[in-house]
Amino acid sequence: MSGERDLASALVAEIEKTAAGIGRPVRIMEVCGTHTVELRRQGIHSLLPRGIALVSGPGCPVCVTPAGYVDNALTLAESGHAIIASFGDMLKVPGATGRTLSSLSAAGRARLVYSPTELIGMARAAGAPVVFLAVGFETTIPTIMSALLEAEKQEIRNLYLYTAFKTVPAALRFLLANPEHGIDGFLLPGHVSVVIGADAYEFLEGPGGRPGVITGFEALDMLLGILLVLRQIGRGTHRVENAYPRAVRPGGNSLARQMIETMLEPTDETWRGLGVIPGAALGLRPARADRDAAKVFSLPAAADAEAPGCICARVVAGMATPPQCPLFGARCTPDDPVGPCMVSSEGTCAAYFRYGDGT
């Protein structure tokens, strides 16, 4: 037996003891899509005692982007006014009509990038306007903004951002304000916290708050995070704990935070499944309106819509699990997805489908 397995067994034993002490079912939300995938990939669900439910949260950026955003991008690409550039997952998300941007990739109207740094060369070579689908949380935003700064430095004028940036603390505030979600505690996202810092979650400690533990992504990190949340539930406290101190500092990464604050401002945009959360999205500040694809190309507000039968909206809100969806595994698979939670490599449905439910 490996040392890691011994440590895991010891943590699981503590988790069982603590859960027994609580004596009621507990719902812990992993906010981050990477946690959703890693928890299942490591088989952690299969090790937890009955009564502890891990609920996936709204932390998969592709999943919380509404279908109307894809439709706007499709319309723009087909108009011939701009080439769409995007990370891979977004190209495969169906819009309200079921069509995807990847259907335009053969014609070169929708192009895949692995890193925002590729945008500079792509814009220079294309000559025509290139619109990047700027989707992501605080982890992704600084790299995209760096690419934009580089484009400005090199005086590349034909690169635009269609922003659908979201912020994690705002989503957590929304969940706290809607207690019908029944969440007893949060595993807070490690990578986002590297940027925003542990102090960004202070509101969780206020009235109506919940325990939150900043958690890393190794199996032992995640077991420890779950144990610390349970201990707080048992004690009846709701504090923010940093169980990922090897990467996360109280103030986060000041350079990245500064970049976000100077270039972007809070906006009100639709989250799939959650509706409009005031101030929970980030858009370009007016000084960069000439880089803002929504303004330059007069794109309408992105409407929220679901394919018939798809329950992604309830899944991202933590109100349903994938097996409760009639399409799951039958009409909707990673090879032919209906909703974004099956498209994204961080999506809850994809994680359930690939790794099973631990039995």
Partner 1 sequence: MKEGALIRLEHGSGGALSRDLVESVIHPFFRSAAYPELTDASPVETGSDFLMTTDGYVVDPPFFPGGNIGALSVWGTCNDLAVCGAKPICISLALVLEEGFAVADLRKVLESAASAAREADTRIVTGDTKVVPRGKGGGIFITTAGIGRRMCSAPLSPSRIQEGDSVIISAPIGAHGLTVLAARESLPVADALRSDMAFLYPPVSLLFPLAESLRFLRDATRGGVAAVLNEAVHGAAWGIRMEESEIPVSDEVRTVADLLGLNPLEVANEGVFVAVVGARSEAAALRALQAHPLGRSARCVGHVTAGNAGTVLMTTKIGGTRRVDFPRGLLLPRIC
- Interface contacts to partner 1, rule CB under 8 A: 2, 4-5, 8-9, 12, 40-47, 88, 219-220, 223, 333-335, 345, 353-356, 358-359
Q: At what angle do helices 219-235 and 33-41 cross, to 10 degrees?
A: 110
Least gap, CB of 250 to partner 1 (angstroms): 28
Q: Which CB, 8 or 151, lies closer to partner 1?
A: 8
Nearest CB to partner 1, comparing residues 47 and 319: 47
d(CA 210, CA 207): 9
Residues contacting residue 235 through CB under 8 Å, at least 6 positions apart: none
Measured from the Cβ of residue 42, the count of other Cβ atoms closer than 10 Å reads: 18
Q: Which is nearer to partner 1, 211 or 225 (CB)?
A: 225
H helices present in the chain, as ranges: 3-22, 33-41, 61-64, 67-79, 88-91, 118-126, 141-153, 168-177, 190-196, 219-235, 254-263, 293-296, 312-316, 340-343, 348-355
Q: Which residue lies nearer to partner 1 by CB, 105 or 158? A: 105
Distance in Å, CB of 340 to partner 1, minimum: 14
> What's the full length of the chain, in residues?
359
Residue 314 has a CB neighbour count (10 Å cut-off) of 16
Give the Cβ contact number of residue 144 at 10 Å: 23
Give the nearer residue to partner 1 in terms of CB position, either 2 or 298: 2
Checking phi first, is residue 263 left (phi over 0); if not, alpha (psi -120 to 50) or beta?
alpha
Q: How far is CA 305 from CA 51, 64, 97, in A?
A: 33, 12, 10
Cβ of residue 88: shortest distance to partner 1, in angstroms? 8
In the complex with partner 1, the residue whose CB is nearer, 117 or 178, is: 117
Looking at beta carbons only, is 40 or 231 nearer to partner 1?
A: 40
Residue 100 CB, nearest approach to partner 1 (Å): 11
Token pair listed for 29 = 């939300």
Rounded to a whole number of angstroms, the minimum distance from the CB of residue 315 to partner 1 is: 19
CB of 287 to partner 1, least distance (A): 36
The distance of closest approach from Cβ of residue 70 to partner 1 in the complex, given in angstroms and rounded to an integer, is 18
Q: What is the 3-state secondary structure (H, E, C) of 282-350?
A: EEECHHHHHHEHHHHCCCCCCCCCCCCCCCHHHHHCCCCCHHHCCCECCCEECCECCCHHHHCCCCHHH
What's 197's DSSP letter?
Answer: -
- Residue (179 or 358) nearer to partner 1, CB: 358
CB of 105 to partner 1, least distance (A): 10
